[in-house]
Structure 1
Amino acid sequence: MDLVAAVRQQAGGCARLGSPMYAGLCDRIADDLEAGGPSAALLADHRDAPGPDAVALRLLGSVHRLVLERRAGALAAYYPSVGGTWEPDAGWTAFRDLLADQPGAVAEWLDRPPQTNEVGRATALMAGLRTLGGPVRLFEIGSSAGLLLLADHYRYVAEDGSAWGPAASPVVLRPAWTGPAPRGEPRIVERVGSDVMPVDPRSTEGRLTLTAYVWPDQLHRHERLRGALDLAARVPYEVRRQGASELVDSIEPADGATTVLWHSVMWQYLPGEEQAAVTARIGELGAAATPSAPFAHLELEPQRPRPGAPHEFLVVLQTWPGGERRVLGTAAGHGVPTRCD
Structure 2
Amino acid sequence: MNARLGLAEALHGQAKACAALGSPFTARLLRLCADRLTPGTPLTDRLFGWPGDITARADSVPLRLAGALHALVQSGQDTPLAAVYPPHEAADAALWDAVAAALVRHEDFILRWLDSPPQTNEVRRSAVLIALAAWLENRIGLPLVLSELGASAGLNLLWDRYALRAGGAELDPIVLGPADPVLELAPEWRGRPPGGALPRVAARRGVDLNPLDPQADRLRLMSYLWADQFDRLTRTDAALAEARRLRPQVDRGDAADWLEARLSKPHPGHLHLVFHTIAWQYFPAAVQARAARALARAGSCATPEAPLAHFGMEHDGSDDGAALTLTLWDGTAPAGEALNFGRADFHGRWVDWQAPG
The verdict on a shared fold, with TM-score over 0.5 as the criterion, is yes
State the match for 1:48 in structure 2. Answer: 52
Select 1:294's aligned residue among 307, 310, 321: 307
Q: Does 1:14 align with 2:18?
A: yes
State the match for 1:244 in structure 2. Answer: 255
Select 1:222's aligned residue among 207, 216, 233: 233
Q: Give deviations 1:108-166, integer Å, cap 9, x for gaps.
A: 11010111111011012222222211311110011000000100110111133221112
How many matched pairs? Answer: 332
The alignment partner of 1:291 has SS state of coil
Counterpart contact for 1:173–1:336, Cα < 8 Å: no
Select 1:191's aligned residue among 193, 197, 204: 204
Q: Does 1:271 align with 2:284?
A: yes
What's the CA shift for 1:73?
3.0
> 1: distance between equivalents of 2:35 and 2:258?
42
Q: Does 1:316 align with 2:325?
A: yes
The alignment partner of 1:216 has SS state of coil
What's the CA shift for 1:237?
2.2
Q: Does 1:145 align with 2:145?
A: no
Counterpart contact for 1:155–1:172, Cα < 8 Å: yes
Q: Give deviations 1:224-275, integer Å, cap 9, x for gaps.
A: 1111112112224211111111221112331111101100111222111111
Identity %: 37
> 1: distance between equivalents of 2:18 and 2:273?
31
Counterpart contact for 2:130–2:164, Cα < 8 Å: no
Supply the AA of the counterpart residue of 1:314: A
Identify unmatched segments of 5+ residues in structure 1: none
Residues 1-341 of structure 1: pairs in structure 2 closer than 5 A:
2-33=6-37, 35-36=38-39, 40-46=44-50, 48-51=52-55, 52-80=58-86, 83-85=87-89, 87-133=91-137, 134=141, 135-159=143-167, 160-175=172-187, 177-184=189-196, 185-201=198-214, 203=215, 205-252=216-263, 253-304=266-317, 310=319, 312-320=321-329, 321=331, 322=334, 323-341=336-354
Supply the AA of the counterpart residue of 1:173: L
What's the CA shift for 1:100?
2.8
Q: Compare 44-53 and 103-112 and name the one that shifted more.
A: 44-53
The alignment partner of 2:245 has SS state of coil
What's the CA shift for 1:319?
0.5
> 1: distance between equivalents of 2:72 and 2:311?
36
CA RMSD, aligned part only?
Answer: 2.0
> 1: distance between equivalents of 2:251 and 2:49?
31
Counterpart contact for 1:139–1:193, Cα < 8 Å: yes
Supply the AA of the counterpart residue of 1:183: G
Q: Give deviations 1:18-71, integer Å, cap 9, x for gaps.
A: 0001111111212124x5476633514425334321001111111111111111
> 2: distance between equivalents of 1:260 and 1:246?
17
Identify unmatched segments of 5+ residues in structure 2: none
